[in-house]
Amino acid sequence: MTRTLVRYTCSACGQESPKWLGRCPGCGEWGTLEASAAATRSAPRPEPLSSPVPLADVDPLGAPRRPTEVPELDRVLGGGLVAGSLTLIGGEPGMGKSTLVLQALGAMSAAGARCLLVCAEESAAQVRLRADRLGALAPDLLVVCDTSLPDACAHAEAARPDVVAIDSIQAVQDPDAPGGPGSVSQVRDGAVRAQRLAKELGVATILIGHVTKDGSLAGPRTLEHVVDTVLSFEGDRHHALRMLRASKHRFGPTDELGLMEMTGDGLVSVADPSSMFLADRRVGASGSVVAAVLEGTRPLCVEVQSLVVPTAAPAPRRVAQSFDGGRLSMLVAIVQQRADVGLAGHDVFASVAGGVRASEPGADLAIALAIASAREDTPVRADTVAVGELGLGGEVRQVPHIGRRLVEAQRLGFTRGIVPGSTPDVAGMDLVRVGDLDTARRVA
């Protein structure tokens, strides 16, 4: 016996409802619920494919990692791709997602892995041209250009590769599913089918995904829930630097940062990013302070710059680049109130040079000192690095792994550090311990 159930699915977020509503209860959009008929058959429940086992008897090494041979990608993945895993790589157009995946597939194929690239956005000739430029040609690297998801899965089942990459999940479609390529239902069902492919064949699967104008992954939120790993490939169009982060990773940490540089020959891992960030630093300029920040387990030294100029506007501007604008407004208020630096009637601009984003509070002290230095037109000593978080009372607070940050600064030639009062000694470095911002400003 077969019965048909009519459900209503939101075309914007994928929320399902048993009845039609004018407004989606999930995302709040109007007129986005569309009817979809689903046939269900009353039949005996099939036997389960597996049975419960004691957790202690499960082999913890049952899912080995396969290195991608791209050092920064392996760093973020915790050593490589896990067999049977589903990884989603998202980023803005032109960041180099396809380049990164093709480089990884070419390197793994050269190391003996059998890889399949399903390309739905380019022809085989275009992929070949890019592979020639990247040096990614390998005998075990297979490519098929197809926009049909069932056909792509059939190719994978026939080829039995170790790694499959689909470029992109928004460009392939299932002809038997409702909606066109990139629609909510197609993206959701495509991710579920790719997950089934990865688990049944035990093949590491990579999906390339598009992002929306606000930077979030395009498609329903369930896309991120289905996959095992979500990687974000970021960068500035005006810089060659590319950053790879994991916002979700079931097989490792999510606080690692991969740094690569886009060149004519593809993406090249950046071995010493701190030296690159400080290469063009102008020594002795006011409003410039070096901060030691931590991205994952990697300490980085970056230059924080600030510019303070008078304005006749009734509401002075606070403009931040490469870090949160709300945090800049808070730091401006702290500098003005707790360090007695007059910023009323002045526009304040602050940025982190080099394209890296300083998202952690360890850069607070450096940003505040840069603002004070720019306002008073007094440069901070060139051999000085600043590390610390600022509280609303102007106190300088401790930050994690400060020793590793200072060792990195010392390696780059910095001999003096302005740090919180509880910081332990670092051999060969003069530490100026301060308890509040006003004291730090006076000794800088």
Displacement of CA 135 from its chain's centroid (Å) = 26
Cβ count within 10 A of residue 30? 10
340/193 Cα distance (integer angstroms)? 61
Q: What is the pLDDT of residue 34?
A: 78
Looking at the DSSP bridge assignments, the partners of residue 419 are: 433
Give me 380's structure tokens: 């901070």
Q: What is the pLDDT of residue 44?
A: 61
Displacement of CA 192 from its chain's centroid (Å) = 23
Which residues does 64 contact at the CB level (< 8 Å), separation at least 6? 82, 83
Give me 171's structure tokens: 């460009």
User: Could you give the C-alpha distances from 132 to 56, 100, 112, 141, 250, in angstroms and in order?
Assistant: 48, 14, 19, 13, 34
Q: What is the pLDDT of residue 20?
A: 84
The three-state secondary structure class of 402 is helix
The three-state secondary structure class of 330 is helix
DSSP letters, 295-326, are ETTEEEEEEEEEEEEE--SSS--EEEESS-HH
What are the two backbone dihedrals, phi and then psi, of residue 303, each rounded to the nearest 5 degrees? Answer: -95, 125
The three-state secondary structure class of 225 is helix
Q: What is the pLDDT of residue 413?
A: 94
Looking at the DSSP bridge assignments, the partners of residue 66 are: 81
Give me 176's structure tokens: 């038997």
138/126 Cα distance (integer angstroms)? 16
410/77 Cα distance (integer angstroms)? 29
Displacement of CA 290 from its chain's centroid (Å) = 24
Give me 25's structure tokens: 């209860």
- Give yes or no for a contact between 93 and 233, defined as CB atoms under 8 angstroms apart: no
Cβ count within 10 A of residue 283? 10
What's the order of all strands across the beta sheet hosting 204-209? Answer: 141-145, 115-119, 163-167, 204-209, 86-91, 229-235, 241-249, 257-263, 266-269
Q: What is the pLDDT of residue 180?
A: 78
* pLDDT tens series, the chain, 444 aa: 445 567 788 877 777 888 888 888 878 888 888 776 554 444 566 666 568 889 888 776 656 789 999 999 999 999 999 999 999 999 888 899 999 999 999 999 999 999 999 999 999 999 999 999 999 988 889 999 999 989 999 999 999 999 999 998 989 988 887 777 888 788 888 888 999 999 989 999 999 998 876 667 766 667 888 899 999 998 877 778 898 999 999 988 888 889 999 998 899 998 888 988 898 899 889 999 999 999 878 899 999 999 999 999 999 999 999 889 999 999 999 999 999 999 999 999 999 987 788 888 999 999 999 999 999 999 999 999 999 999 999 999 999 999 999 999 999 999 999 999 999 999 989 999 999 999 999 998
Q: Does residue 416 come out as left (phi exceeding 0), alpha (psi in the -120 to 50 range) or beta?
A: beta
The three-state secondary structure class of 277 is helix
pTM to 2 decimals?
A: 0.78
- CA nearest 207: which of 71, 85, 93? 85
Which residue is it, tokens 């840069």? 370
The three-state secondary structure class of 188 is helix
49/61 Cα distance (integer angstroms)? 22
Q: What is the pLDDT of residue 416?
A: 96
State the burial class of residue 413 (Cβ atoms within 10 Å of its Cβ: 0-12, 13-18, 19+): exposed
Cβ count within 10 A of residue 175? 9
Q: What is the pLDDT of residue 272?
A: 87
Looking at the DSSP bridge assignments, the partners of residue 88 are: 207, 230
- CA nearest 224: which of 195, 199, 198? 195
Q: What is the pLDDT of residue 2?
A: 47
